[in-house]
Chain A
Amino acid sequence: MKLKVARGPAVNALQKIQAIISPRTTLPILNNVLLETADGSLKITATDLDVTVTARVQAEVVRAGATTVPAKHIISILRALPAEELQLEVDTKNNTTIRSGSSYFRIIGIPKDDFPPPPEIAEEKSYTLEQGNFRRLLELTSYAAASSDEGRAVLTGVLLSFKGDKLTVVATDGRRLALREAEMEIPRGSEAEMVVPIKTIQELQKTLGDEGDILIRAGRNQVAFEFGDTLVLSKLLEGTYPNYRQVIPAASDKRVVLEREMFLDALRRAAIVASGQAPSVKLDFARNRLEISAENRDIGEARESMAAKYSGEDVSIAFNPLFLIEPLSALDTDEVILELTDELSPGVIKTTEAFLYVLMPVRLA
């Protein structure tokens, strides 16, 4: 294998796929990236067996071929090189030679056959969306996914439901649930639901751009996301996603309109005092007024008060502040609507967009 490639784009590509490489893997080949030539380009791939990311860079291919090199080393070297033009050459013993200006490196690699082959996608259905829109859908929901749940592994993923001419993205950890819908045309026969692991979602959030389309190809156990020069392949989580529709309260009689940023800042301040094992902030709503308070036996207390559009009867409710801060910081609308019933029933955050967030209160035993 022999090729010429520009340093900048190559470093960018490596940075995109770097997050997939787990520093603690016990399989040495997974510390390596796969370098392959394709017509007029160099393909760089990393995998942790669950997620595989491939980035493509324009290159002048002199001799086709493939090899693997330790990710850590090639990234460090490419970042540190001063010149823009690079020449890569791989010999039969999988030594990769990098020449650039007056620099010369030889990196010991592992044959490409040791690199796990990408999974195959069977019985695929495909969907096309705008990259920026899709990233936004993920940003607005993914934080609500469970970080770990031995009992229900599906909760550690994000549900993508392509049904009824819309894409519904849902994440929940059993305490709160975030949902965002987007209208799109879904041909008959292409309706499907899938649960994508949170690691894949996070990788997508990082690498998705604003412009251009993303093609999603979904099989039974695997899904592929193709956009720009990037391909993300991921396994899907098995199991039945809980029926999220049934946890969304049908009607709440108390409706408060709050200025999002003001609410968020006040919560962040109160949360400083509410830290600890079981953080909670109390919200007291009175006519056009919201009082936020937090108390911690070991630290002290905090009180905030702000304006709110509210005309119902007084109501108090307590939440884990993180459960409010996360959706409020993901949103970008000026106002949010908070719907409540009483201190024991779930609260709902809505916006003028097709966004919905349900969270359970914290209460005294």
Chain B
Amino acid sequence: MTQNGSRIRILPDDVANQIAAGEVVERPASVLKELVENAVDARASHISVELVAGGRRLILVQDDGIGMCRDDVLLSIERHATSKVYHAGDLTRIATMGFRGEALAAICSVSRLEIVSRTRSEPTAVRLTASAGKILSVDDCGAPCGTRVAVRDLFFNVPARRKFMRTERTEAALLRQMFIAYALAFPGIDFSLRSDGREVYRLPAVSGFQERIRLLFGEDLFRQLFPVAGSEGTASIRGYAGHPSLSRSDRGGQFVFVNHRPVQSALLAATIREAYSSILEKGRHPTVFLQVDVPPEEVDVNVHPTKREIRFRHPQQVRNTLAVALQEALAGHLPGRPDSGVSAGFPRSGRGGPVPGQPPAVTGSLRPFPYVRIPVEVNTPDSGPAPPAVPVLEDLPSSGRPPVTSDTAPWKWFRLLGRIAEGRYVIMETDQGLVLMDQHAAHERVVYENLMRAFSSDHPLIQGLLAPETVSLPPADAENIRHSLRVLRRMGFDIEEFGADSFVINGLPAIVSPHGSVRRLLLDVAAAVHVAGHRAAQRAAIAELVAKAACRSAVKGGEHFSEPEIEQLVVRLAETEMPYTCPHGRPTLIMLSFRELNRKFGRG
């Protein structure tokens, strides 16, 4: 402590840089982002990225841009050194990717850095090496035009940060996701990515967004995208909105760019969610590729050091433009909206599907049962309705279990009264009172318990496929599946890796076999593994995940219940161990006891 008691000091530069590094350089993916942005700003036409050990050992970005002269190279690792903004006024019309002048200095302060750069006018390149923010050497060498930045041993001097890095696998997946985002943002630039010596992507420069999407995600996915276009005032939007079947349980399929900058915007995310709200169930996120263009002065990217977050000057205008554009793109897949053409060529999703030209759907209106039912009493399972000779409902197979004692069943008898809200809820009278049943949730519970019991078997049966099915997954999902391969095999998936991010499936667990799309099943499993994290390594946990994913797919297909099927469903639900919630935790039943009814009607 000094004599006059002043304890406030200006931080030395290296400390300031390390603090800034905390904001700008969160993890390897953010280093990659900064380096790629610099390369783009340097007007590169080729950008190649090399990664080792999920970016922990090496992140190398090489471009063929304008390069830097000796003084610039030295300045580049100084804080607030930038070639992109001269005056405060420039900040309101930023058209370059970077501008804060923090990135290289911050990266340099937490890694061993090497920069090699040559401009077109100089005969030799400059090579600078630095470690933890201190310059070690500067010399001349031979190199092609452009800049190569190699970041080694990230966070080697910041143990606290190192600890926060996730597994190599996770970081690698995040790096890839980042790479993909920039490859999509700049289709005119030739991008390549090598990871641990393996070529992952080689993307030649193409004329547009759409070709990039095709190259990265394949023709199959591309065919399920609807073009989106619209403009209002100064804002314009182009891109693609995915068919509901491409939905995922995370946002990994959403790529949104504002003025070519990959961004996260609460405003845009909410608008997308709203546009899809009527065609996607809760918790599913659509796949979208959207480019939003607004004049640079109408968007503030200087909200956060990493520039992921942005603010619009006219948020309402951007929102409207996007909402209208999405609405038009999805018309015909949204219930209650006129279709543009009957032969849209896509299988309609959901039950019954939206119908072209229909008036706005009246939801919540009471729909009486189409015919009068004779009361059915179910006391013990053997007095239940006789199952048909051939199972009518594939996903509701008779549970081969001894009859459940009546104390686990929520009721002793029931009588179906009707269905409301487009058949979503079933109303019935039981010995306990009035019961409302969520048909979908109940179905999921029944299928889930059957699947779980089957998965607990040590020798699951595999149903072979006539022709092996090849499924290509997005990088992060593929990583999750790769990680769980061993467990999946033991559960009855006959699955092999098949280069890059593809898998070949020769057989499925016999119990999930009838339930539709292999790709969807795998995607759901991948997302579930991701959410569960390393807990997923345990078999029981995976079984639970697969059962959840499978029952989701199973239930997806068959929601067209006839009255006898509803009866069966109610009987089966009563036999489950947890009849009151669906496997995802939502309630299946709402009960209103006679006593409560009496009380409400003032009958004491």
A296 contacts the other chain (CB 8 A):
yes
Q: How many residues of A contact B (CB 8 A)?
A: 52
A346 contacts the other chain (CB 8 A):
yes
A363 contacts the other chain (CB 8 A):
yes
A221 contacts the other chain (CB 8 A):
yes
Residue of chain B at shortest CB distance from A274: B400
For A176, list chain B residues within 8 Å (CB). 466
Q: Is the CB of B461 within 8 A of A280?
A: yes
A365 to B510 alpha-carbon distance, docked (Å): 10
For B317, list chain A residues within 8 Å (CB). none
Q: Is the CB of B352 within 8 A of A365?
A: no
Q: Is the CB of B489 within 8 A of A26?
A: no
A363 to B517 alpha-carbon distance, docked (Å): 21
A298 contacts the other chain (CB 8 A):
yes
| Partner-binding segment picked from A101-109, A144-152, A188-196, A250-258 | A144-152
Which residues of chain A in 115-151 are interfacial with respect to chain B, using CB atoms and an 8 Å cutoff? 116, 119, 146-151
Give the secondary structure class of B's interface.
loop
B345 contacts the other chain (CB 8 A):
yes
For B511, list chain A residues within 8 Å (CB). 277-278
Summed over the interface, the residue pairs from A and B with CB atoms below 8 Å come to a total of 148
A25 and B469 in contact (CB under 8 A), knowing A150-B556, A151-B517?
A: no
Chain B 448-461 per-residue mask, 1 if CB under 8 angstroms from chain A, else 0: 00110110010111
Q: Smallest CB–CB gap between A194 and chain B, Å?
A: 14
Most central of A23, A177, A235, A365 by chain B CB within 10 Å: A365
| Partner-binding segment picked from B126-134, B272-280, B353-361 | B353-361
Chain A 165-176 per-residue mask, 1 if CB under 8 angstroms from chain B, else 0: 000000010111
Q: Is the CB of B397 within 8 A of A27?
A: no
A58 contacts the other chain (CB 8 A):
no
A246 contacts the other chain (CB 8 A):
yes
B467 contacts the other chain (CB 8 A):
yes
B398 contacts the other chain (CB 8 A):
yes
For A358, list chain B residues within 8 Å (CB). 466
B513 contacts the other chain (CB 8 A):
yes
Residue of chain A at shortest CB distance from B394: A147
For B402, list chain A residues within 8 Å (CB). 298
A266 contacts the other chain (CB 8 A):
no
Q: Is the CB of B343 within 8 A of A235?
A: yes
Chain B 252-271 per-residue mask, 1 if CB under 8 angstroms from chain A, else 0: 00000000000000000000
Which residues of chain B in 382-435 are interfacial with respect to chain A, using CB atoms and an 8 Å cutoff? 391, 394, 397-402, 422-423
Partner of A148 from B465, B491, B494, B557 at Cβ < 8 Å:
B557
A221 and B469 in contact (CB under 8 A), knowing A22-B352, A23-B370, A148-B516?
A: no
Q: Smallest CB–CB gap between B155 and chain A, Å?
A: 42
Q: Is the CB of A174 within 8 A of B519?
A: no
For A150, list chain B residues within 8 Å (CB). 245, 347, 516-517, 520, 553, 556-557
Q: Smallest CB–CB gap between A17 and chain B, Å?
A: 18
A149 to B397 alpha-carbon distance, docked (Å): 19
For chain B, which range describes its interface: under 10, 10 to 19, 20 to 34, or 35 or more residues?
Answer: 35 or more
B227 contacts the other chain (CB 8 A):
no
A308 to B394 alpha-carbon distance, docked (Å): 31
A279 to B356 alpha-carbon distance, docked (Å): 40
Q: Is the CB of B355 within 8 A of A27?
A: yes
Chain A 154-183 per-residue mask, 1 if CB under 8 angstroms from chain B, else 0: 001000000000000000101111000000
For B343, list chain A residues within 8 Å (CB). 119, 221, 235
Give the secondary structure class of A's interface.
loop
A314 contacts the other chain (CB 8 A):
no
A363 and B461 in contact (CB under 8 A), knowing A30-B355, A151-B517, A298-B401?
A: yes
Partner of A362 from B461, B518, B553 at Cβ < 8 Å:
B461
A22 to B402 alpha-carbon distance, docked (Å): 37
Q: Is the CB of B467 within 8 A of A174?
A: yes
Residue of chain A at shortest CB distance from B347: A153
B305 contacts the other chain (CB 8 A):
no
For B510, list chain A residues within 8 Å (CB). 277-280, 320, 362
Residue of chain B at shortest CB distance from A345: B464
A298 to B453 alpha-carbon distance, docked (Å): 11
B381 contacts the other chain (CB 8 A):
no
A243 to B468 alpha-carbon distance, docked (Å): 12
Q: Is the CB of A151 within 8 A of B519?
A: yes
For B239, list chain A residues within 8 Å (CB). none
Residue of chain B at shortest CB distance from A299: B400
Q: Is the CB of A119 within 8 A of B399?
A: no
For B560, list chain A residues within 8 Å (CB). 24
Chain A 43-83 per-residue mask, 1 if CB under 8 angstroms from chain B, else 0: 00000010000000000000000000000000000000000
Q: Is the CB of B461 within 8 A of A278?
A: yes
A345 to B564 alpha-carbon distance, docked (Å): 39
Residue of chain A at shortest CB distance from B243: A150
A26 and B400 in contact (CB under 8 A), knowing A280-B461, A360-B463, A362-B463?
A: no
Q: Smallest CB–CB gap between A134 and chain B, Å?
A: 25
A242 to B465 alpha-carbon distance, docked (Å): 13
Partner of B516 from A151, A275, A364 at Cβ < 8 Å:
A151
A262 contacts the other chain (CB 8 A):
no
Residue of chain A at shortest CB distance from B557: A148
A327 contacts the other chain (CB 8 A):
no
For B144, list chain A residues within 8 Å (CB). none
A44 to B201 alpha-carbon distance, docked (Å): 59
A25 to B459 alpha-carbon distance, docked (Å): 44
Q: Is the CB of A175 within 8 A of B398?
A: no
B101 contacts the other chain (CB 8 A):
no
Q: Is the CB of A242 within 8 A of B461?
A: no
Q: Is the CB of A26 within 8 A of B465?
A: no
B120 contacts the other chain (CB 8 A):
no
B22 contacts the other chain (CB 8 A):
no
For A318, list chain B residues within 8 Å (CB). 461
B558 contacts the other chain (CB 8 A):
yes
Q: Is the CB of B464 within 8 A of A361?
A: yes
B492 contacts the other chain (CB 8 A):
yes
B202 contacts the other chain (CB 8 A):
no
Which residues of chain A in 278-295 are interfacial with respect to chain B, using CB atoms and an 8 Å cutoff? 278-280
Q: Is the CB of B422 within 8 A of A151?
A: no
A279 to B450 alpha-carbon distance, docked (Å): 13
Q: Smallest CB–CB gap between B565 and chain A, Å?
A: 13
A177 and B492 in contact (CB under 8 A), knowing A278-B511, A365-B459?
A: no
- Please name the 4 residue pairs, one residue from A and one from B, whose CB atoms are nearest each other, closest first: A360-B464, A148-B557, A151-B517, A278-B510
Q: Apart from A298-B401, A344-B464, list 17 A-B contacts with CB within 8 A.
A: A24-B560, A25-B352, A148-B558, A149-B517, A150-B553, A174-B469, A243-B467, A275-B400, A276-B397, A276-B450, A277-B510, A278-B509, A278-B510, A320-B463, A320-B513, A362-B464, A363-B464
28 contacts between A and B (CB under 8 A): A23-B370, A25-B352, A26-B358, A119-B343, A147-B514, A150-B517, A151-B517, A151-B519, A151-B520, A152-B517, A175-B463, A221-B343, A238-B345, A275-B400, A277-B453, A278-B461, A278-B463, A278-B509, A298-B400, A298-B401, A298-B402, A318-B461, A320-B513, A362-B463, A363-B462, A363-B507, A365-B459, A365-B489
B-contacting residues of A (Cβ < 8 Å)? 22-27, 30, 49, 116, 119, 146-153, 156, 172, 174-177, 221, 235, 238, 242-243, 246-247, 275-280, 296-299, 318, 320, 344, 346, 358, 360-365
